[in-house]
Chain A
Amino acid sequence: MLTLENVSAGYTAVSVLKGVSARVEAGQFVAIVGPNGAGKSTLFKTISGVVAPSAGTIRFEGQDLRTVPAARRAHLGIAHVPEGRQVFPSLSVMENLEMGAYTEAGRRAWKRSLDLIFGLMPVLAERRGQYAGTLSGGEQQMVAIGRGLASAPKLLMLDEPSMGLAPAIADFIFDKLIEIRAQTKLTILLVEQRVAEALESADHGYVLEAGRVVLDGTNATLRADDRVRQAYLGM
């Protein structure tokens, strides 16, 4: 569904990604793990078009994304749940979800998506009229995930959904991801720092370090490889 070939990207003074290749098959759950600063978020931004690649190609369902402007990519079925949640603070929870459903597919599936979202996260139904900016971190993360689901995507990309959340809340969010996966069979691309949780339910994992893929394989392979541990802990 999504293939990256030798993608390099970065910002004015800093190059972050240095030739990343990866692929996500339809229906797969792929996790990208790696220490901070490895370029995971930049990789996501490159896929959703906010950062332009300096080299390499990205294909989504066979289509070369280079010619597709960032705002069009959501309409192709790519939903990006960004790092740090980034909800629309002065919009209500409901309006945030409506913005998720801004795409054609999202509007068509609106009723169904809403049932799914409120079924998974009933607290959002309770808070539907509240400004998203006044919610707690965990609730905002739920809004962000709900917003991603509301677009009725083909590919759901989640960037560190556990970041900055208390452990119990982070566990809760992870459980929700597993439920989403079980209920929708969505293709999911997840970036996480917490390796174990990320790999637990993923079909395939990539370890990113300093802008390069240093290791990839199935859950079991990665877990068994000491290098993952080294990448994080240094010994």
Chain B
Amino acid sequence: MAQVVENMLQALAAGLLAGAIYGLMCVGLGLIFGVMRVINFAQGDVMMLGMYAAYYLFLSFGVQAVFGSVFGPYVAILLSGPLLFAFGYLIHRFLISRVTGARTTRLEGEGHFAQLILTLGVALVLQNGGLIVFGSVLASIRTPLSSSAWEIGPLWGEDVAVFVNKARGIAALISVAAMIVLSAVITRSRLGKALRASADNPEAATYMGIDIDRSHRIAFGLGSAITAVAGGLLATNYPFHPYIGIDYVIVMYAGVVLGGLGSITGAFWGGMTIGLVQQLSTLILPTQLQNAAIFAVFLLIVFFRPQGFFGRMVERT
């Protein structure tokens, strides 16, 4: 009995930790979708770039020497944010902007296709370019924390204890902190309000003097940066390779849909739910099926509550 309880608690803890990172990851995609209504196929690969960016930043520029092997990785991860912001901003400026916005209405609904396939092309280039540049050997951002854990317990008498890997715990905390900062930016700052206005009604936003293209560029950059940071945090626990994006792009879609397309806090809770489903499913399903469980939940949500569980209060008109 104690064993069952302990397993459940352990899975719950694992789910919350993974869920926090997934949540942040989803927020990146959710921000892009919310503002631009663009499905970005390359989001997983942007996350992969974030992982490698953190990896190389850690190893170079003396980050490791200055900040040590405990703090160094986190400094590198935070530094990768601005880098990937610039990347996303430029990708939008020179590629995505040409097939979204006003130009798409020109053709009979084919703009939608064009935008999808363009991001697919970007995804292919990033994955395979990653293979060329980074090689196919598994990389990881190891910190001493990766192999140590906090023990919570004993609980309920002497038998039950939960172990929390320190690296995962810190990654989850940073994710939650990043999410809080981001929510504050989105809800309170002038920029955040302009982004929300652009998402709500691009035409009216233009009448206010808001440059919609600029809003989209910033959203794309910001979304890239957020997902990249989440990727870096993930990389402190899991080894990665240039094709890792495909695995996580699915997690991101599921989380974003779960949270309600267009809602940013919803996307975070959606990602959190995915993390929990993934980890809790291991209690009753073989490990190989944990991703299948995600899809099952995803499909159920899409069918029965397509507006998501955490959708915004006010419907977009």
Contacts and interface: CB of A to CB of B under 8 A. Distances in A.
Interface of A: 12, 48-50, 69-75, 79-82, 86-91, 95, 98-100, 102-103, 131, 133-134, 147, 151
Interface in B245-303: none
B215 to A, nearest CB: 9
A99 B197 contact: yes
Contacts of A48: 206-207
Top 8 A-B residue pairs of the complex, sorted by shortest distance between their CB atoms: A74-B209, A133-B314, A88-B200, A86-B204, A71-B211, A80-B207, A90-B314, A89-B314
Contact size class for B?
20 to 34
Nearest to B203: A50
Contact of B203 (A73, A74, A82, A151): A82
Contacts of A87: 201, 204
A102 B196 contact: no
Contacts of B200: 88-91
Contacts of A90: 196, 199-200, 312-314, 316
B194 interface: yes
B60 to A, nearest CB: 40
B205 interface: yes
A142 to B, nearest CB: 15
A102 B203 contact: no
A102 B208 contact: yes
Contacts of B197: 88, 91, 95, 99
Nearest to B317: A89
Nearest to A147: B208
Interface majority SS (helix, strand, loop, mixed), chain A: mixed
Contact of B206 (A50, A100, A134): A50
Given A82-B207, A86-B204, A95-B196, 14 more contacts: A48-B207, A49-B206, A80-B207, A86-B203, A86-B317, A88-B205, A90-B196, A90-B199, A90-B200, A90-B312, A99-B205, A103-B208, A147-B208, A151-B208
B212 interface: yes
B313 A72 contact: no
A136 to B, nearest CB: 14
B315 interface: yes
A133 B315 contact: yes
B193 to A, nearest CB: 5
Contacts of A91: 193, 196-197, 200
B114 interface: no
A74 B196 contact: no
Most chain A C-beta atoms within 10 Å of own C-beta, residue among B106, B197, B200, B208: B208
Contact of A70 (B201, B206, B214): B206
Interface in B193-241: 193-194, 196-197, 199-201, 203-212, 214
Contacts of B196: 88, 90-91, 95
B205 to A, nearest CB: 7
A133 to B, nearest CB: 4
B37 to A, nearest CB: 14
A100 B314 CA distance: 20
Given A71-B209, A71-B210, A151-B209, A89 B316 contact: yes
A35 to B, nearest CB: 23
Contacts of B199: 90
A119 to B, nearest CB: 22
B316 A103 contact: no
Among A82, A95, A99, residue most surrounded by chain B Cβ atoms (within 10 Å): A99
A89 B209 contact: no
Contacts of A102: 190, 194, 208-210
Nearest to B204: A86
A79 B207 CA distance: 7
B93 to A, nearest CB: 15
Contacts of B194: 99, 102
Nearest to A88: B200
A95 B203 CA distance: 17
Nearest to A98: B193
Given A86-B201, A88-B196, A100 B208 contact: yes
Given A75-B209, A102-B209, A102-B210, A82 B313 contact: no
A131 B196 CA distance: 13
Given A89-B200, A99-B205, A133-B315, A71 B212 contact: yes
A82 B208 CA distance: 11
5 contacts: A49-B206, A88-B201, A91-B197, A99-B205, A102-B194
A95 B193 contact: yes
Contacts of A81: 207
B210 A99 contact: yes
B265 to A, nearest CB: 12
Contacts of A99: 193-194, 197, 205, 208, 210
